[in-house]
Amino acid sequence: MTRHITHPKSLLRWGEALLPWVAAGGILFACVGLFLGLVVSPADYQQGESVRIMYVHVPASWGALGVYTAMAILSGWGFVARVPLLHILTKSIAPIGMAFTLISLGTGAIWGKPTWGAWWVWDARLTSMFLLLVLYLGYWALVTMFEEEEKGLSAGAVIALVGWVNVPIIKWSVDWWYTLHQPASVLRFAKPAVHWTMLAPLLCMAVAFALYGFVIAIIRFRTELNRRKVRALQVREWIASQDKEAA
């Protein structure tokens, strides 16, 4: 079963078969989420209309943490099972998580200005979220700096595994330290403390972000495999041309 899942053709065939359905679902959930968030959902009694930024900010934050967690799992699996394909898949999804992190930080700054009176404050969650962006950038720097791609992928996998310790810090920072962020309202053991008129668009947008991430992951994975094939062909052609010249 593992061998079947980690075979490039099988994995890509499975992903591309789901691609149109996932893309359509992502568009549908995004449209429903935006309609509910911008039209149906009421303004907050304290934050006013600026609370609607939540419907992009929160799903992007969840996506950033989810992608990094997936990177750590794939990296660990790749080391244990000795499957290089999993490291390639990790590299393919890294820019998606990086983009989600940038969206989270950007929308958070826009939201923070009218709410807190400042674009940025070095509280626990913002600082740990910024560190997540640094980890993404560090991972990408490592996987692209080596001439031998396998060495770069292995070095990046170590960063993905070690850096995952920051994910629970981001999640629980509002409970461990003083922070301007409110405690968890949705992802908690008790019943969500968000009214359904806000919870429904929030969950719809979260699903839309997840499906969008899946679509881009498959496209990037296919592109990465094709790039490696082209590079391998170029190397073979160069070797053949050298052999002809030597003959």
| Sign of torsion over alpha carbons 221, 2, 149, 164 | positive
CA–CA–CA angle 201, 122, 185 (5° rounding) = 30
- For residue 181, the model assigns a pLDDT of 55
What is the pTM for the complete model shown? Answer: 0.84
Q: What is the pLDDT of residues 67-125, one digit of tens each?
A: 999 999 999 999 988 888 899 999 999 999 999 999 999 999 998 888 778 888 887 78
For residue 214 the two structure tokens come to 């899946």
Helices 149-163 and 84-116 meet at what angle, rounded to 10? 50
Q: What is the pLDDT of residues 126-176, one digit of tens each?
A: 889 999 999 999 999 999 988 788 889 999 999 999 999 999 888 776 665
Q: How far apart are CA 75 and CA 161, in angstroms?
A: 7
Three-class SS state of 182: coil
Q: How far apart are CA 143 and CA 149, in angstroms?
A: 7
Tell me the domain boundaries of the chain: 21-183+197-246
- For residue 73, the model assigns a pLDDT of 95
Architecture of domain 21-183+197-246: Up-down Bundle (1.20)
Q: How far apart are CA 150 and CA 154, in angstroms?
A: 6
Q: How far apart are CA 216 and CA 70, in angstroms?
A: 15
